[in-house]
Structure 1
Amino acid sequence: MANQLGVVAGTPAGLLSALLSGAPRTVRLAPAGQDPDEIAELVSLLRGFGRLRVVVEAPGDEPEDRRAPDLDDPESVCSADPLHVTSAYESAAEEHGGLRAAWLRAGQSLIRDQGPARRALVLLASLPPDAEPRMRGALTRLSERAPWTVEWSRSCPVAALTVASGALVVADPGGGVRTVDEDGPRPSTAARARAVAALDDDTWLLLDERGRLHRHGGTETPLTKAVAATLESHPGTALAAVADTVLVGDRMGSVHAFGLDGLHQAALHSGRVTALSATAGAASPTVHSGGADGVVHSWSPGAAGHRPAVTERPYPVVALHAGPTPAGEALAVAWADGLVRLFLPGARRVLPFRPGPAVRAVAVTPDGTLCVGTDGTLVALRPR
């Protein structure tokens, strides 16, 4: 149902929260192979919300292959009916070498219609650290036809990502911030981080959940002081920084570029600005912004006129990041339905990835690796 409705929900409570916070919608239930009493109970529950139109489709033919998958065999679970696999893992008492935890974590992605190679890739990215080595090896072989390779994955909560001096910077939900290679987070004054940006090698900026600016490291400058003072009375919704420019998005859809040459502004979105990224340019930075309207725009402070939208989908943008790679600038965008797309330079090639859980942050590192952060994991993917 979450896939139908374009939201990410790993639990019934998460689905209920998404339904109550959104506009009224229609959901379709296909009862083939399901217990009729459970379907009737579900219909009654959903209709009780008062925000859903529930359509129960006529039962169709059940899949011919009803064989139980071998839950210890990665090839078997990646090839079997994903709903059967999910049901089997939900009722299983064993961890099956880590496959059970990975499948249930990434289930919303895995039940989509896709081939075994892509399912193996998602499972590989979701494996817990204590998974049996043979599972990792088998999934690596099975995913060879997928468009990505998994460089590494780690268990860690991620609230925001950026790149500073070539290093991946991770902000956690509690406000801690660190480079990915550091053993532990450095504490900051941000109670809960919404975004992180690097102004230079020593100065990292964080935007907290109240839209206020926090400086980590470095020294206070007239620029950071002015931005912090502005956000005290006009909270920000998104943050980026490059060279001597700090960029802030607001809830009205505008992007504000604070620089040494003054303030530049552009009204780019219908509704809240949800994500920002900036890269250095010859004359002025190139800014990418994402909004609750699902649109991604490209803009240069001080430039006249608006460029056409870079991309758009009917779901809010939750994260984006642009960065230089050996082939040119690449752009990663994540939407609220759980889809991440990497726009590669030059060939106009776009690679999708759905980790399963809600995406909190994305980043493109200088070697062309895509990093995707969720509430519990950080995974690095390299395009083939």
Structure 2
Amino acid sequence: MTASDTSGPWARPAAGREPAGAALLGWLVDPAAPRLCLVTGDKGCGKSQLLAWLVAHGTRPGTAPERRVHGFAPLDGQGVRTAIWTLADQLGVAARAPGELLAELAADRRRTVLVLPDLHAASDPQALTDLIGALVGLDHLKVVVEARAGHDVMPVLKGLTPAEMNLDDPRWTDPARAEAWRAEHPARQEPALPDPAETEAPDLLDLDDPVALCAADPERVTAAYEADTDPREGLRPAWLRAGQSLLRAQQPADRALVLLANLGDGADPRLAPALEECAADTPWRLVWSRIRGDVTPPWPGPALALAAGRRTLEGHALVADHQGTLRAVSLADAAPAGRMPDLVPDPHGLAALPDGTVIVLDGEGRLHTHRAPAAPRPSGLAALLDDGPGAWQQAMDALSLAVTHARITALAASEQALAVADSTGRVHLAFLAAPDRVLPPEHLHEGPVTALTVTDVPIGEPGQSVGLVYSGGVDGRVRAWGVGNEPLDVPVAERPCPVRALAAELTTSGLTLAIAWADGLVEHQRLDTHERRTFHPGPPVTALALTRTEELLIGTDESLTCLRPISPTVEGP
């Protein structure tokens, strides 16, 4: 145990494997060691037992950083998808494919150790070996892989110049300790092979039955769908789209809701009613969902930013896609309701203002203004007298001028205020009543602010309100700031992964806050009553919006989902 290891001493490895355990720990702490450690040997030599020891101790709270294991994905019977989803969930990110997992890992330069047992027993060892090669190409990762000696993947793994430990070699075993261990554990000798007549065949999966699949082992279902490419009337693509969410430990009802939200409109129409019935005990009702490829109504494109309409946009939401197209869709069913003619490259934020003005934040930190499709335009005498920028334009200009030391990274607006946040963790705000005056900024986060929302909360006399700002950052914190007061010292929410999106609204149920995290979790909180619900849509969440009637819009790059909360509530993620 090192001086910084507060988790207590490590137990000895079983079966006299102290030399192998010491070598593994030495490899972990040696910065000059190869990034891949290959544990090999014949069947039954104790490879999995040794790695189980490493993972059990390396994942304990308080384990020294240089000995910590961050991700563990058993590969027996599994394919690439299951491995990626398992690792992503443990690492606090959302990833559907190798490229997405690698991008997330490349963006986070912290030391990361992954353990991958039973590569030889995987359903697609070659594809997983390709993934391993890509992982060890990242210089802040260390990967331990178990593969049986003589397997087809061994030449490729050895080509990655790993540190190799073949447990058939006597040097990795202390003979005296091995003999003593066997004497103390006689029941742990090599087990006899089971009688084939007494071996029960595993339950067969019905890949066409959505309710049965929601109650089955999700890893088995995923492996079956990887091997069987029949679309199953839309069930297979929905399952694989939601993948990482479905692998989580949860009730069949929760899994049914996720699967229902990921069905495309080309799916067998009998699937949705069956899943709706199965999902009846969840704290949500699916209002609608639009999936990539849907045509009735059409999918509005990747939702990189969202805004629920106010006043002139009542009953509609705005969606900004990857090409910078802004579309209005009906909140009733996502039917298209118009689009804006001008593109905004790389949209990162969207605010719909009460007068029909739309402000878009691009990836360079610049603000752009547009008019919503249904917004009225001044005419007659009003148009003639309109000879200068309006209050919202003045507020936007003032904020753009105020943030000169950093890049604007987030945008939000309420009925009375416009706010932006920047890459240094500061939040800036201007009120419509004094649009040319920007309030002193509040430093709320360590690192860039990644999400921002503002709502007006009534106080005192009728008609009086205060602006309430919620911000989220790469530091994994959501902070609250009642304008005119000091920000709350304690975060409203905090988790070990960045915040991706926020939405706050004074709904018919009271003040409500929605949070999307980088690992795919969406939280819904009724702040007045402390009710909390969660939902994992599957794909990484890119945007959120709340309506006054409490519909929650969840945007990803391949779906747009509308949920309505119901009782009972569910506590915990």
Question: Take 2:528 and 2:484, find their aligned partners in 1: how far apart are those partners?
Answer: 26
Secondary structure of the residue aligned to 2:534 is strand
Alpha-carbon shift at residue 24 of structure 1 (Å) = 2.1
Instruction: Report the identity percentage.
Output: 41
Structure 1 letter corresponding to 2:271: M
Task: Classify 1:241/1:66 alpha carbon distance in 2 versus 1 (closer, same or farther; 3 Å).
Answer: same
C-alpha contact 1:162 1:321 (8 A) present in aligned 2: no
AA paired with 1:67?
A: D
**Does structure 1 conserve the Cα–Cα contact (< 8 Å) formed by 2:253 and 2:282?**
yes
Q: Which of residues 296, 301, 310 in structure 1 aligns to 2:483?
A: 301
Alignment match, 1:210: 364
SS in 2 for 1:90: helix
2: distance between equivalents of 1:140 and 1:307? Answer: 42
For the pair 1:50 / 2:132, whether they are aligned, the reply is no
Q: Point out where structure 1 has 5 or more consecutive residues left out of the alignment.
A: none
Which moves more between the two structures, 220-229 or 67-76? Answer: 220-229
Q: Is the 8 A contact 1:199 1:246 kept in 2?
A: no
SS of 2:399's equivalent? helix
Cross-structure match for 1:254? 426
Report which of the two structures shows the higher radius of gyration computed on alpha carbons.
2
SS at match of 1:20: helix
- Partners of 2:275 and 2:123 lie apart in 1 by 33
For the Cα contact (< 8 Å) 2:481–2:487, is it kept in 1?
Answer: no
Q: Give deviations 1:253-297, integer Å, cap 9, x for gaps.
A: 000012316222100001000111111133431111111111011
Q: Contact 1:164 / 1:201 at 8 angstroms: preserved in 2?
A: no
State the AA in 2 paired with 1:54: V
Q: Give unmatched runs, 5+ long, in structure 2.
A: 1-86, 149-190, 192-199, 292-300, 331-335, 372-376, 378-388, 458-463, 567-573
**Which shows bigger deviation, 89-98 or 299-308?**
299-308
Select the residue among 2, 5, 9 that pairs with 2:95: 9
Instruction: Write the distance in 1 (CA, Å) between the matches of 2:404 and 2:367.
Output: 8
Rounded to whole Å, the distance in 2 between the matches of 1:245 and 1:45 is 47
How far does residue 42 in structure 1 lie from its aligned partner after superposition? 5.5
* TM norm structure 2: 0.62
Q: Distance in 2 between matches of 1:50 and 1:374?
A: 30
What secondary structure, in the 3-state scheme, does the structure 2 residue paired with 1:368 have?
Answer: coil
Q: Separation in 2 of the partners of 1:65 and 1:175?
A: 54
Q: How far 1:28 moved relative to its partner?
A: 3.2
Written as runs of structure 1 = structure 2, the 5 A alignment for 1:269-280 is: 269-280=445-456
> After alignment, is 136-145 or 257-266 more displaced?
257-266
The answer for the alignment partner of 2:152 in structure 1 is: none
Q: CA deviation at 1:343?
A: 0.5
Letter paired with 1:104: L
Distance 1:273 1:153, change over 3 A: same
Aligned to 1:191: 345
More strand, by proportion: 1
Structure 1 CA distance for aligned equivalents of residues 318 and 445 of structure 2: 27
Structure 1 residue 372 and structure 2 residue 521: aligned?
no
Alpha-carbon distance between aligned partners in 2 of 1:313 and 1:379, rounded to the nearest angstrom:
24
The CA distance in 1 between the partners of 2:134 and 2:438, in whole Å, is: 52
Shift in Å, 1:130: 0.8
Instruction: Measure the CA separation in 2 of the matches of 1:379 and 1:44.
Output: 36
Is the Cα contact below 8 Å between 1:330 and 1:342 reproduced in 2?
Answer: yes
Q: Does 1:162 align with 2:307?
A: yes
Are 2:270 and 1:112 equivalent residues in the alignment? no
Instruction: Tell me how far 1:234 sits from its aligned partner.
Output: 4.4
Distance 1:56 1:348, change over 3 A: farther
1:364/1:275 Cα in 2 relative to 1: closer, same or farther (>3 Å)?
same
Q: Greater relative contact order (Cα 8 A, min sep 6): structure 1 or 2?
A: 1
| Change in CA separation of 1:228 and 1:141 when aligned onto 2, cut-off 3 Å | same
Alignment of 1:71-150 (within 5 A): 71-150=207-286
Q: Say if 1:210 and 1:235, in contact at 8 Å, map to a contact too.
A: yes
Tell me which amino acid in the other structure corresponds to 1:51: H
Question: SS at the partner of 1:179?
Answer: strand
Match of 1:268 in 2: 444
Q: 1:37 to 1:189 in 2, by over 3 A?
A: closer
Query: Distance in 2 between the 1:229 and 1:190 partners?
Result: 20
The separation in 2 between residues aligned to 1:356 and 1:187, in whole angstroms, is 32
CA RMSD of aligned residues (A): 2.5
Please state how far the C-alpha of 1:127 moved relative to its aligned partner. 0.4
Deviations 1:53-108 (A, max 9, x none): 3345899x9xx883331111102211211111111112223211111110011101
Report how many residues are paired. Answer: 381
Instruction: Describe the shift of the 1:35–1:180 C-alpha distance in structure 2 as closer, same or farther (beyond 3 A).
Output: closer
Summarize the Cα distance change of 1:234–1:53 in structure 2 as closer, same or farther, 3 Å threshold. Answer: closer
CA gap 1:333/1:49 in 2 versus in 1, 3 angstroms: same
The structure-2 alpha-carbon separation of the partners of 1:81 and 1:228, relative to structure 1 and needing over 3 Å to count, comes to same
Q: Does 1:316 align with 2:491?
A: no
What's the TM-score, normalizing by structure 1? Answer: 0.91
1:145–1:28: structure 2 CA closer, same or farther, 3 Å change rule? Answer: farther
**Is 1:284–2:466 an aligned residue pair?**
yes
* Cα separation, 2, equivalents of 1:379 and 1:94: 26
Which amino acid in the other structure matches residue 145 of structure 1?
Answer: D
State the shift of 1:320 in Å: 0.4
| CA deviation after TM superposition for structure 1 residue 6, in Å | 1.1
1:157 is paired with a residue whose SS is: coil
SS at match of 2:407: coil
- Secondary structure of 1:285 counterpart: strand
